Amino acid sequence: MKDLHDLSRYPLRLEGPDRPMVSFRNVTKRYGDLVVLDGLNLDVAEGEMVSIIGPSGSGKTTVLRMLMLERIQGGVIYVDGAPLSHMERGGKLVPANSRHLRAGREQIGMCFQHFNLFPHMTALGNCMEGPVQVLGLSKQAARERAEDLLEMVGMIDKRDEHPARLSGGQQQRVAIARALAMRPKVLLLDEVTSALDPEVIGEVTEVIRKLVQKYRLTIMMVTHQMGFAADISDRVCFFYDGRIEEEGAPADLFSNPQKERTQQFLSAVKSAD
Amino acid sequence: MFDWKWDFAFEILPRLLGATLNTLMAAGAGYAIALVLGLVLALAQRTPVRLLTAVVREGVEFIRSTPLVLQIFFVFYVGPQFGLRLSPWTAGMIAIGLHYAAYLSEVYRGGIEAVPKGQWEACTALSLSTRDTYTRIIIPQALPPALAGMGNYLVGIFKDTPMLSVIGVAELMHTANAIGSEHYRFLEPITMVGVIFLMISLPAAALVRLFETWVRRKLGMIR
Ligand SMILES: Nc1ncnc2c1ncn2[C@@H]1O[C@H](COP(=O)(O)OP(=O)(O)OP(=O)(O)O)[C@@H](O)[C@H]1O
Ligand SMILES: [Mg+2]
């Protein structure tokens, strides 16, 4: 009951040309008694590249999963102005049902550390599955779209291969193409290079660089690659214990961190490199 | 003491082969029922409806822990008490289909649970419907690891068809028994039934393994 009452504090929609593409308002995520995220506030502008860094268990993955895979226990998440975690009923926000969630999540794409390609489908099949089954595209249209994207990520030559015959870097590039085939407004990347051999990391980061610089896609990226995050992000958020401990432009956060925990984390990462 | 009569064996062969057809039909029909019903039982245990899940779970456990022959008797002889008057064939198919559906549901469940969590997440990330998630992504991947178990139960159901003789289904065992009683000779008919079972079971098991490899290759799961 308390939660329902609280909801009246949140707007039904976010309006205006400056409204964020993604907005977390006071979002809480619990697993049982464990509070993983506590009152998170985070706005991501359209076309912005936000990197999320922080120690293991600080809640980085959870931030992305709330947009894509999980329900939340408090607060509201908006995507492109409309509530995602909730829906409007009779002028009030109520928790979203699964249909609303599914519709809202069609606007979001996600790539995972372990690719999660469908092993029984070819690269092309992987990229056509969502457009055909979910968006209702014809096979022909979906194929053209998939081929364009496989071309873009440099995987067009391998379009008829199954994932088992692709290297990690190649699989991840197909996974990015698969996510983009849904024409998402926001792309979520969760440590997409962490499972890769060092020599193929570059081929994936190059694709991400292209998405940022050429296509101006809105991206939220969890990463342990500080150099890449510094290089490519508009903003970096340092997570600690389920909160944003410090955030800012990469130049500021990496070269001049204000908080002690940020300093400790960055120097620990640097010495590990 | 051991006097095998070839002329008698040849004389009864056509009748036994006819009964073999019945046995194959019983096994085939029972297996078809079990394949479909087993999937229903497996999926029912994955619904968010707790009560349904619990009831199906207990039902499957119950079927698995009581003998098949008892279930055949029950459906055929106790069914009429509830106004359910069934022919031996129908009763037999229901009993054996249900029995193996319970076993197959466990095989399916194992197969589904072996699909990595990341596959479900990828489906959610693509906004696939629950139905597409199962039919297009999960079940095709759950199938290859389940095939070995499914094949074992195909051979198993075939070998269990003689139990249908207790309610008078004219399959191999029943026919051999009838021949034996008519001629007061059991050596030939019973031995021949054994040979017939062997000649079908062994190639069937080999075929199942071939089929398994073929499916895996078809699904691109073999390098
Ligand atoms: N399904 C779950 N059930 C219970 N606890 C969970 C679950 N998922 C995550 N957690 C907990 O939530 C906390 C945050 O996890 P999260 O995966 O977001 O961390 P992370 O910052 O991504 O860490 P890493 O760098 O190791 O990936 C951890 O303490 C984790 O144990
Ligand atoms: Mg993580």
Residues 6+ apart with CB under 8 A from A155: A123, A170, A173, A174, A177
Number of domains in chain B: 1
Chain B residues in contact with chain A using a Cβ-Cβ cutoff of 8 Å: 116, 118-119, 121-122, 124-129, 132, 136-137, 140-141, 219-223
The pLDDT assigned to A2 comes to: 52
Evaluate whether A220 touches A64 at the Cβ level (below 8 Å).
yes
Provide mean pLDDT across the span B47-71: 94
The torsion defined by the Cα of A216, A219, A224 and A227, in degrees rounded to 10, comes to 20
Identify whether A6 is part of a domain.
no
Q: What is the pLDDT of residues A84-95, one digit of tens each?
A: 999 999 888 999
pLDDT at B220 over 90: no
Which ligand ends up closest to the CA of A58?
1
In a domain, A31, yes or no: no
- Total tally of structural domains belonging to chain A: 1
Residues of chain A with pLDDT > 90, as a percent, come to 84
> Which ligand 1 atom minimizes the distance to the CA of A63?
18
Measured N-to-C along each axis, helices B50-64 and B6-44 cross at an angle, to the nearest 10 degrees, of 160
Report the phi/psi class of residue A110: left, alpha or beta, with left for phi > 0 and alpha for psi in -120 to 50: beta
Name the pLDDT band for A119 (thresholds 50, 70, 90): very high
C-alpha closest to that of B212 among B155, B147, B143: B147
Q: Does any CB of chain B come closer than 8 Å to the CB of residue A179?
A: yes
Per the domain annotation, does B117 fall within a domain?
yes
For residue range B140-194, what is the model confidence (pLDDT) as tens digits? 999 888 988 999 999 999 999 999 999 988 899 999 999 999 999 999 999 999 9
pLDDT at A4 > cutoff 80: no
CATH number of the domain that B52 lies in?
A: 1.10.3720.10
Distance CA A79, CA A106 (A): 11
Is A201 inside any structural domain?
no
**Of the ranges A199-203, A268-272, B2-6, B133-137, which one carries the lowest mean pLDDT score?**
A268-272
> Are the C-beta atoms of residues A60 and A54 closer than 8 Å to each other?
yes
**In terms of Cα–Cα distance, which of A70, A109, A93, A120 is closest to A11?**
A93
Residue A79: pLDDT band (50, 70, 90) is very high
Domain range for residue A147?
A: 117-179
pLDDT band at A273 (very low <50, low <70, confident <90, very high): low
pLDDT per position as a tens digit, B69-109: 999 999 999 988 888 888 999 999 999 999 999 999 999 99
What is the residue with the minimal CA distance to atom 25 of ligand 1?
A: A56
DSSP code for B162 = G
Distance CA B130, CA B139 (A): 12
pLDDT digits (tens, 9 = 90+) for A226-243: 999 999 999 999 999 999
Look at residue A74 and tell me if it is in a domain.
no
The domain of B188 spans 6-218
Asked if residue B223 belongs to a domain, the reply is no
Of all residues in chain B, the percent with pLDDT exceeding 90 is 80
Q: Do A116 and B132 touch (CB under 8 A)?
A: no
Q: Measured between alpha carbons, how far is A91 from A183 in angstroms, rounded to an integer?
A: 30
pLDDT at residue B223 greater than cutoff 70: no
Given B118, B127, B222, which is nearest A106 (Cβ)? Answer: B127
Q: What is the rounded CA–CA span in Å between residue B194 and residue B94?
A: 25
Taking an 8 Å cut-off on Cβ atoms, the answer to whether B219 and A120 are in contact is yes
Where do we find the tokens 């809480």?
A28
> CB–CB of B124 and A106 under 8 A?
no
Distance CA B165, CA B174 (A): 5
SS3 of residue A30 by DSSP: strand
Question: Within its chain, how far is the Cα of B112 from the centroid?
Answer: 20
Asked whether the beta carbons of residue B128 and residue A134 sit closer than 8 angstroms, the reply is: yes
pLDDT, greater one: B217 or A107: A107
Question: Which residue has the CA at smallest separation from atom 18 of ligand 1?
Answer: A59
Rounded mean pLDDT, A13-17: 89
pLDDT at A1: 44
- Taking residues B204-214, report their average pLDDT: 89
At A53-68, the pLDDT tens digits run 999 999 999 999 999 8
Measured CA to CA, the distance from residue B157 to residue B31 in angstroms comes to 7
> Would A273 be classed as within a structural domain?
no
CB A63 within 8 A of CB A42: yes
* Phi then psi dihedrals of residue B207, to 5 deg: -60, -40
- Is the pLDDT at A5 greater than 90? The verdict is no
